Amino acid sequence: SRRALSKKQKKLIKINLKKFLFDKEKVKKSENILEIGFGYGENLVNFSINNPEKLIIGCEVYEPGIANLINKLESKKINNVIIYPENIFYLFDKLKKNSIDQIFVLFPDPWPKKKHFKRRLVSKFLLDNINRILKKGGEVFISTDSESYLSTILIEFFSNKHFFWMNK
């Protein structure tokens, strides 16, 4: 469901997004973390506060979530986060090979209707792109509360030779 942006949210995106916008020159040679679909940014903010030495890249298309994140970054004076406000598959083309240490995909839309399964984020195509940008020994963290989507996620990862399961 699309939610209309408030005046404050529109202003945050129009004026304040540019200082947080993704620029491949900002991607560090040291530790880089990517969160795909950060929602309203709660995990991203907490992670950035607890890891000030790391660069956190947040990718999200949902504008109210982007505005909420910008507001939190500014109020907490966080400066180790950059935002890519477009589809993750465009970002993959901008990231260098082996440039990301950890990737978080927290509660992606499960698209529960069978006719919408093709819209699910976790797929062979996603994993091939993740494999390209992930450093050797890098980690991918995925969580879902959908049993049906969990099955899809497990099948995709177990059938991909580039990943092995570390869940305890």
- Provide the strand spans (E) within 65-165: 81-84, 100-106, 134-143
Catalytic residue numbers read 109
Residue listed under structure tokens 């529109």: 10
37, 106 Cβ separation under 8 angstroms: yes
130, 103 Cβ separation under 8 angstroms: yes
Q: How far is CA 147 from CA 79, 105, 165, in A?
A: 37, 16, 18
Q: How far is CA 161 from CA 1, 81, 86, 124, 151, in A?
A: 36, 31, 29, 11, 17
Rounded to an integer, what distance in angstroms lies between the CA atom of residue 49 and that of residue 28?
A: 17
